[in-house]
Structure 1
């Protein structure tokens, strides 16, 4: 569980979080590596006023399981991943709260049914 106050607008936070391609570049050395930057295969499964359901995976390893992404408007983002054959799963839930102009608070929760996913 993690929370932080950020010096930018909630819409900016959401836009970046629902774009998985930004991680290797923007978080190089922290959550990713620039050498892992690549095109992603993306699918929008559903899109309506309540949010977006989609999935993505890297193009260099096209046989890996999909990572699902749900954006539940106005401020909840869920990533889910796993290996069904091995019975392993995990994910991250991100919730944002606007605090004022150019400020938001984020709440993040990681989860899994195994330590080594």
Structure 2
């Protein structure tokens, strides 16, 4: 995208995606079957392939952190389900916040931006 004479490089750093399973995940099964860690009412599971951090919330939904594409987030959720002997049919995705970084070719005058 060109801004005046410069251009902006935008890079997605993290796309938060929540997946709702037809049958909510059981915290105890995530801990015992795939090594999830309990923490303040949720269960956390770090995945290596694909690289992501999964949080199983109080309602048994899978929240995927650390990916920059929805496809990668879905692959991480699917891998967790497969390791637990479940399939991913009926999995519904809800998009969350996106963290991006920007690289401008020139300095940005922040004081010129209206409040």
Superposition TM-score, scaled by structure 1 size = 0.31
Superposition TM-score, scaled by structure 2 size = 0.31
State which structure, 1 or 2, has the greater radius of gyration over its C-alpha atoms. Answer: 2
Structure with the higher strand share, 1 or 2: 1
- Larger RCO, structure (CA 8 Å, separation 6 or more): 2
